[in-house]
Structure 1
Amino acid sequence: MTNTSAPHFGQVFVMDDPLTLGPNITSKLVGRAQGIYASASQSDWAFLMALNFAFMEGKYNGSNLSILGRNAILSDVREMPIVGGSGVFRFARGYAQARTHTVDLKTLDAVVEYNVYVLHH
């Protein structure tokens, strides 16, 4: 990290967050969003995301979707590729669009909406 680097450049974060149907913490829990993200840009707020949606409910129970891509968090909409999956989502390909719903600048907690478009067998 240098004096001219973007804030937090090089930091790695691990997540295990609730995956819900809606933006409220009281929304129905359908799985977990688990993975790692690293601040990978020296010039802006962009993360390298390695993210799994691990489903624990309904017909997707036990299945996973895997996302790997760049997340420029200050953009209104960020598109990241679906690179695979397991269970129902075996051989998955597609993309996810992320939109920040809310963010708390004091805690840096955020609620992010993901719209996922996926083809699978």
Structure 2
Amino acid sequence: MDDALTERSEISSKLVGRAQGIYAMAAQEGVALLMVMNLAFTEGTYNGSSISVLGRNLVLNDVREMPIVGGSGVFRFARGYALAHTVWFDYNTGDATVEYNVYVSHY
């Protein structure tokens, strides 16, 4: 994946970085993904910094929790969690808007 990271869920919202990584099916039953994702920031105070997410994403749940396992730049030694919520999904194209609320501690 290499998706727009914006301030808000609207497509016209300000671009602040990219959500980059991979996801793979991670369950024989149900729909679960293994998420390996970096939230790479390109604007403002966090420009050049990133937050790393690694975890299981149960995509059919309304809210999914995944751990923050590290970061770079301003977010060096980051720890915390991200809550994902699908705002919009198009079954025909597979396109989606996912809101992430990120709670992170860093040095």
Q: Do they fold alike, i.e. is TM over 0.5?
A: yes
Which ranges of structure 1 fall in alignment gaps of 5 or more residues? Answer: 1-14
**Partner SS, residue 88 of structure 1:** helix
Could you say which residue in structure 1 is the equivalent of 2:10?
A: 24
Q: Tell me the TM-score normalised to structure 2 length.
A: 0.99
Query: Which of 48, 54, 57 in structure 2 is aligned with 1:68?
Result: 54
**What amino acid does structure 2 have at the position aligned with 1:21?**
E
Query: Which of 17, 38, 53 in structure 1 is aligned with 2:39?
Result: 53
Say how many residue pairs are matched: 107
* Greater than 6 Å deviation, 4+ residue runs: none
RMSD: 0.4
Q: Distance in 2 between matches of 1:18 and 1:25?
A: 9
Aligned-residue offset at 1:119? 0.1
Larger Rg: 1
Q: Distance in 2 between matches of 1:77 and 1:25?
A: 21
Q: Distance in 2 between matches of 1:110 and 1:41?
A: 21
Q: Tell me the TM-score normalised to structure 1 length.
A: 0.88
**What amino acid does structure 2 have at the position aligned with 1:26?**
S
Instruction: Indicate whether 1:88 and 2:71 are aligned.
Output: no
Q: Distance in 2 between matches of 1:89 and 1:100?
A: 25
Aligned-residue offset at 1:24? 1.4
Aligned-residue offset at 1:41? 0.7
State percent identity of aligned pairs: 68
